[in-house]
């Protein structure tokens, strides 16, 4: 019963700001509620506070004891929602599929998958030496095992 109420409150809070979306929602046996958000424009501390208050202020602690944590998806966390790919267009990503691992610039994200582009050194077709070629790979969401943004330090 508590889980359903929290889900309803969470959905109502997210409906108030269409740029935010849910990445993960879990609830432990000890009534520990954990919400992970992401947003088309990122997630601010204020966004987390707003969602947290929308849930917490509508639950009665005298009725049920609970803990609540609302966080943003980490920069190094794998992408799990197609909206995360769209917001990371132009960034370098590492994508693991069943067949291979690809690293390249995310140039496109649509309803079915993504497009990566990168430069590679390959042997010249004629003669000795290597030449730089532009590579492009279309990958369906269903083929992606894991995808992460490559952070520059």
pLDDT tens, position by position, 72-118? 998 889 999 999 999 999 999 999 999 999 999 999 999 899 999 99
**What pLDDT is stored for residue 92 in this prediction?**
96
**What pLDDT is stored for residue 27 in this prediction?**
94
**What pLDDT is stored for residue 47 in this prediction?**
96
Residue 43 belongs to domain with CATH number? 3.30.300
**What pLDDT is stored for residue 74 in this prediction?**
86
Could you tell me if 60 and 18 lie in one domain? yes
SS (H, E, C) the chain: CHHHHHHHHHHHHHHHCCCEEEEEEEECCCCEEEEEEEEECECCHHHHHHHHHHHHCCCCCCCCCCEEEEEECCCCCCCCCHHHHHHCCCCEEEEEECCCEEEEEEEEECCCEEEEEEEEEEECCCCCCEEEEEEEEEEEHHHEEEEEECCCC
Average pLDDT taken over every residue of the chain: 93
Residues 14 and 25: their CA atoms lie apart, in Å, by 13
**What pLDDT is stored for residue 61 in this prediction?**
85
Domain boundary among 72, 97, 118: 72
**What pLDDT is stored for residue 111 in this prediction?**
87
Domain boundary among 19, 41, 72: 72
**What pLDDT is stored for residue 143 in this prediction?**
96
Strands 113-123 and 20-27: unpaired
Could you tell me if 111 and 144 lie in one domain? yes
The 10s digit of each residue's pLDDT in 110-137 is: 989 999 999 999 888 888 889 899 999 9
Do the domain assignments include residue 12?
yes
Average pLDDT over residues 60-83: 91
Do the domain assignments include residue 77?
no
Could you tell me if 43 and 95 lie in one domain? no
Residues 6 or more apart whose CB falls under 8 angstroms from that of 117 comprise 104, 105, 107, 134, 135, 136, 137
Percent over 70 (pLDDT), the chain: 100
**What pLDDT is stored for residue 52 in this prediction?**
96
Q: What range defines the domain where residue 111 resides?
A: 82-149
Model pTM score: 0.81
Place of tokens 């197609």: 82
């Amino acid at each position: 019963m508590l889980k359903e109420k929290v889900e309803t409150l969470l959905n109502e809070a997210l409906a108030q700001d269409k740029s935010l979306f849910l990445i993960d929602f879990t609830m432990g046996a000890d009534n520990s509620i954990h919400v992970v958000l992401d947003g088309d424009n990122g997630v601010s501390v204020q966004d987390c506070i707003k969602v947290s208050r929308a849930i917490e202020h509508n639950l009665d602690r005298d009725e049920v004891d609970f803990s609540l944590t609302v966080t943003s998806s980490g920069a190094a966390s794998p992408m799990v929602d197609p909206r995360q790919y769209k917001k990371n267009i132009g960034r370098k990503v590492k994508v693991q599929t069943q067949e291979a691992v690809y690293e390249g610039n995310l140039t496109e994200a649509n309803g079915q998958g993504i497009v990566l582009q990168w430069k590679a050194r390959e042997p010249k077709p004629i003669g000795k030496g290597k030449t730089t070629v532009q590579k492009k790979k279309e990958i369906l969401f269903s083929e992606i095992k894991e995808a992460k943004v490559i952070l520059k330090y």
